[in-house]
Structure 1
Amino acid sequence: MDMAPTPPPDGEPRWLNGDEQRVWRAYLQATTLLDDFLDRQLQRDAGMPHVYYGLLVQLSDAPRRRLRMTELAKIMKITRSRLSHAVARLEKSGWVRREDCPSDKRGQLAILTDEGFEVLARTAPGHVTAVRQSLFDRLTPEQQKSLGEIMTIVAEGLQPKEAGADLPWLR
């Protein structure tokens, strides 16, 4: 279902009403606090920001624990430049290594090392506890289901449809 906004006839923006404004501000506050909470937990327990943990998770789930850098950027919804910087930091820690792509000399693979996998395995229990404590334990099963449905609708509506879209992972 396409939910593209319909501008009012006079060209004025459709301002948020009071209820919408409260929902929007609650969303912003909750996501900011959740990101901060999870980031602090990962910094404390593993010395890495949340985005680095996400990179390690994606690589651990990939076949042979490896992904093309462009694919990893696309999955993580980050610029290739930001990914390259993050992978360089993860390489410095010994958690990831890069190799040239055998099928395409222009491409590179990010590969989760055994040490990186061990760090992820040690960090995951504390992280899942933090996720449960900060989100799931605060919601009823019905609220969890609703939240999942809502976030799926929002994410699907924001997925670029056109081939030439200005996508962060292509920059």
Structure 2
Amino acid sequence: MPTDDPSPDTSPDTSPRADEQAGPWLAPAELASWISVVRLITRLPWAIDAQLQRDAELSMVEYMALAMLSEAPERTLRMSTLAEHTSTSLSRLSHMVKRLEGRGYVRREPDPSDGRFTNAVLLPTGMSKLEAAAPGHVAYIRHLVVDNLSGERLRRLGQDAERILQRIDSPAR
């Protein structure tokens, strides 16, 4: 049910909006938008994963892990930080990093500042793999998303995604 205020909700506030408290069902327009969002969040990762598997023999989360490591100081991150950056559980990340280790892309080592933690380190072969995969991956992302939206719509999509992520990550959930 729409609110009386026709302006878009742009506040960073995480409290429920009036229309969120209206009832248990979505209005037809809300439902149509929600179904589109669900289809996007289901199909986009699948499409990206399929492209990376086909062209680079990497899963999307493997590519993300290599990319996150490539951006980190000394190409090194604690496993817990890498799990957070790739939105995966530490257990799942550990299995994935073990596979990447077996392929010679990363190594694990104790964190020198606190041996209770384990670091993942991107190796030169992993960096080469990422550099080889990146052009095709970026072209595909550009084709699917970036070139499909105006600069303003892309900026707003990023902002909207961040607002939703903040709500997901808020301690009040």
Classify the TM-score, shorter chain: 0.7 to 0.9
State the secondary structure of the residue aligned to 2:85.
helix
Which of 1 and 2 has higher RCO (CA within 8 Å, sep 6+)? 1
1:4 aligned to 2:8? no
Task: Please say which of residues 109-118 and 65-74 is displaced more in the overlay.
Answer: 65-74
1:160 equivalent among 142, 150, 170: 170
CA deviations 1:14-42 (Å, max 9, x no partner) are: 21111111011111112222111111110
Change (3 A) 1:114 1:8: closer
CA deviations 1:88-115 (Å, max 9, x no partner) are: 1111111010011112221111000000
2:36 equivalent among 19, 23, 26: 26
TM-score, with structure 1 as normaliser: 0.86
1:145 aligned to 2:155? yes
Unaligned runs of 5+ in 2: 1-12
Change (3 A) 1:5 1:78: farther
Q: Distance in 2 between matches of 1:94 and 1:45?
A: 19
1:70 aligned to 2:90? no
Q: Distance in 1 between matches of 2:14 and 2:38?
A: 24
Equivalences, count: 160
Task: Please say which of residues 51-60 and 67-76 is displaced more in the overlay.
Answer: 67-76
Q: Distance in 2 between matches of 1:5 and 1:91?
A: 47
Q: Distance in 1 between matches of 2:86 and 2:16?
A: 25
Q: Residue 123 of structure 2 corresponds to which residue in structure 1?
A: 113
Kept in 2, the 8 Å contact 1:66–1:110? The answer is: yes
CA deviations 1:146-171 (Å, max 9, x no partner) are: 21221121112222326xx8xxxxxx
CA deviations 1:114-145 (Å, max 9, x no partner) are: 00000000100000000000011111222212
State the secondary structure of the residue aligned to 1:105.
coil
Unaligned runs of 5+ in 1: 166-171
User: After TM superposition, where is structure 1 displaced by more than 2 Å over at least 4 residues in a row?
Assistant: 3-9
RMSD: 1.9
Task: Please say which of residues 15-24 and 69-78 is displaced more in the overlay.
Answer: 69-78
1:124 aligned to 2:134? yes
State the secondary structure of the residue aligned to 2:171.
coil
Q: Distance in 2 between matches of 1:37 and 1:64?
A: 31
**For residue 25 of structure 2, what is the amino acid of its counterpart?**
W
**For residue 86 of structure 1, what is the amino acid of its counterpart?**
M
